[in-house]
Amino acid sequence: MNSISDLDSDQFFKDIKSFIEYHKEYFTVSSATFTVSNKSKSIIFDNHNMYDMENKNKMNSEADESLDQRGLLMFLKDVNVNKCVKCKLSETRKNIVFGEGNPSSKLMFIGEAPGAEEDNTGRPFVGRAGQLLTKIIESINLKRDDVYIANIIKCRPPQNRNPYEEEIKQCSPFLKEQIKIIRPKIICTLGKFSTEFIIGTDKETISIVRGKEFNYDGITVIPTYHPSYLLRNPDAKRETWEDMKKIRDLYFKAT
């Protein structure tokens, strides 16, 4: 039983139904009871058919039309990610850093993993590198709240070491779900790890691929340097500015 308060319960139940319908191929549980405030509902899931036990009716795919991205992200975070212990990073984290921003943004930034500040606060890109990322976003006339920001890895690797391949394998399905829910028009990958993950490992180094256009599931991808790299190598900011101008043009053209 999952208990979540301070939400509009009717909307939340609607989001749960939408989420299950949308992701039904991933569901293996056959029933679930959700309680919000004083309201409780049971949903039975059987052979890819879903039954709302209050109405005892099979639910139809009209749920697709009422998909609410914020609710779906909240569900993914609260139900799947927040208690995740799939890899050893769960043993040393203080907080899971799920991601934040506009859930229906046209533009998504993807980094590699949280650092110390992010681990303390549970928010992505809030340390020095994060402050620089905020400035980069504002340099193209957007606010941080206009975009969505996430990492491949949701828990901090000790001493900020690079994520291991196995950790990326375990954690990346959450990022893939986030992308599927948000459906951005443009993804800006920040640095080597997110770029390799999104465009494939057979590509060149970040200094070669940055600023070029790639495709991920119909989404335009433009890699650029990670803000931490820019803090260590301020001369590279000029190239990042060139990359951001491309992103700005695509953003304001995208419908």
Spatial distance between the Cα atoms of 154 and 99, rounded to a whole number of angstroms: 8
* Shortest distance (Å) from residue 138 CB to ligand SF4: 29
Distance between the two ends of the chain, CA-based, in angstroms? 40
* Shortest distance (Å) from residue 213 CB to ligand SF4: 29
Please provide residue 61's backbone torsions phi and psi, each rounded to the nearest 5 degrees: -80, 5
Residue span binding ligand SF4 (CB under 6 A) among the ranges 68-76, 132-140, 147-155, 225-233: 147-155
Contact status: 192 vs ligand SF4 (CB under 6 A): no
Residue span binding ligand SF4 (CB under 6 A) among the ranges 21-29, 135-143, 165-173, 197-205: 165-173
Spatial distance between the Cα atoms of 23 and 141, rounded to a whole number of angstroms: 35
* Shortest distance (Å) from residue 82 CB to ligand SF4: 9
Choose among 194, 200, 184, 187: nearest CA to 228.
194
Q: Which is nearer to ligand SF4, 84 or 219 (CB)?
A: 84
Q: Are 140 and 247 in contact (CB under 8 A)?
A: yes
- How far are the Cα atoms of 19, 67, 73, 203 from residue 180, in angstroms, in the given order? 12, 12, 10, 23
Q: Which is nearer to ligand SF4, 86 or 176 (CB)?
A: 86
Q: How many residues bind ligand SF4 (CB under 6 A)?
A: 14
Q: Which is nearer to ligand SF4, 137 or 171 (CB)?
A: 171
| Binding map of ligand SF4 across residues 67-96, x = CB under 6 A, - = no contact | --------------x--xxxx-xx-----x
Q: Which is nearer to ligand SF4, 86 or 203 (CB)?
A: 86
Q: Which is nearer to ligand SF4, 17 or 154 (CB)?
A: 154
CB atoms < 10 A from the CB of 139, how many? 14
Return the residues of window 95-124 that contact ligand SF4 according to CB under 6 A. Answer: 96
* Shortest distance (Å) from residue 181 CB to ligand SF4: 17
Spatial distance between the Cα atoms of 45 and 51, rounded to a whole number of angstroms: 6
Q: Which residue has the tokens 């053209």?
A: 253
Spatial distance between the Cα atoms of 183 and 220, rounded to a whole number of angstroms: 11
* Shortest distance (Å) from residue 124 CB to ligand SF4: 13
Contact status: 155 vs ligand SF4 (CB under 6 A): yes
Assign 2 to helix, strand or coil: strand
Spatial distance between the Cα atoms of 4 and 107, rounded to a whole number of angstroms: 29
Residues binding ligand SF4 (CB under 6 A): 81, 84-87, 89-90, 96, 153-155, 167, 170-171
